[in-house]
């Protein structure tokens, strides 16, 4: 089945720039309708909106009818009607959707970028995708949690440590991946640095994706 047959009745027209909305930062995400159009599932925004409004697209395991929802790093989406699934991954020039097996969308990797003490001494984990939730798990800032989707339950914790498999998600080494060789702690005058293979980058640019091997395809 040709991908354009997901929706019918669209008319070719001008491509419009759409501002993404959602938990991700605007400059770190792209609207769902634009992604569908770029992947040739739709000729234009009108067709893409129809596909999304019809409930044909799942984002992180749930039906999404928001055409301007911004998808960012490690988000996944599926189009069951054509049996296609994708994850947003980093490459040298930015973020791109990579086709993955449908089973791979059952888990999502999220980097812990902060922890907040709530009332009752409960700990809230703040994640890279702009979401957060209460957890009693022992997790450090910088660690990655593997969430079961769409329930968003912690399945596994990937510590930020030497030997872990990681990918660089920002800076001039974006898209590079490998095992962490060294982590240089930061000081008041200097940011923490991490060495992956023969590349050194800011620790804040590094995303853990596995222990002995990567848990996601890049």
Q: What is the pLDDT of residues 100-123, one digit of tens each?
A: 999 999 999 999 999 999 988 899
Contact criterion met (CB below 8 Å) for 188 and 131: no
Q: How many CB atoms within 10 Å of residue 105?
A: 21
Q: What is the pLDDT of residues 1-19, one digit of tens each?
A: 344 545 544 444 444 568 8
pLDDT score for 22: 87
202 contacts: CB under 8 Å, gap ≥ 6: 171, 191, 192, 193, 194
Share of the chain above pLDDT 70, in %: 92
Q: What is the pLDDT of residues 50-59, one digit of tens each?
A: 999 999 999 9
Contact criterion met (CB below 8 Å) for 177 and 210: no
The pTM (predicted TM-score) of the whole model is 0.88
CATH architecture classification, 106-158: Beta Barrel (2.40)
Average per-residue pLDDT for the chain: 91
pLDDT score for 4: 53
Average pLDDT over residues 35-55: 96
pLDDT score for 1: 39
DSSP string, 82-149: GTEEEEEEEETTEEEEEE--GGGGGEEEEEEEEEEE-GGGPEEEEETTS-EEE--S---TT-EEEEET
Rounded CA-CA distance 52/74 in Å is: 20
CA-based nearest residue to 168, from 180, 185, 182, 157: 180
Fold entry, domain 3-100 = 3.10.290
Contact criterion met (CB below 8 Å) for 168 and 199: yes
pLDDT score for 6: 57
Residues in the chain: 218
Contact criterion met (CB below 8 Å) for 169 and 207: yes
Where in the chain are the domains? 3-100, 106-158, 165-210
Q: How confident is the model at residue 45 (pLDDT cuts 50, 70, 90)?
A: very high
pLDDT score for 12: 45
Q: What is the pLDDT of residues 130-169, one digit of tens each?
A: 999 999 999 999 999 999 999 999 999 999 999 999 999 9
CA-based nearest residue to 62, from 32, 34, 18, 37: 32
């Amino acid at each position: 089945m040709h991908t354009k047959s997901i929706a019918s009745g669209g008319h070719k027209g001008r491509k419009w720039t759409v501002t993404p909305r959602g938990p991700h930062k605007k400059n770190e995400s792209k609207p769902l309708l634009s992604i569908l159009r770029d992947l040739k599932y739709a000729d234009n925004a009108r067709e893409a909106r129809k596909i999304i409004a019809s409930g044909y697209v799942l984002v992180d395991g749930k039906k999404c009818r928001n055409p301007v929802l911004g998808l960012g790093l490690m988000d996944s989406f599926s189009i069951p009607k054509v049996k296609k699934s994708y994850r947003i991954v980093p490459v040298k020039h930015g973020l791109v959707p990579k086709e993955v097996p449908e089973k791979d969308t059952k888990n999502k990797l999220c980097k812990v970028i902060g922890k907040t003490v709530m009332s009752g001494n409960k700990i809230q984990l703040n994640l890279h995708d702009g979401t957060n939730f209460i957890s009693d798990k022992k997790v450090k800032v910088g660690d990655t949690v593997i969430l079961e989707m769409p329930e968003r339950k912690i399945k596994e914790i990937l510590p930020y440590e030497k030997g872990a498999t990681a990918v660089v998600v920002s800076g001039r080494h974006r898209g590079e991946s490998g095992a962490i060789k060294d982590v240089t702690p930061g000081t008041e005058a200097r940011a923490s640095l991490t060495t992956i293979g023969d590349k050194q980058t800011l620790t804040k640019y590094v995303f853990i994706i596995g222990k002995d091997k990567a848990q996601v395809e890049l």
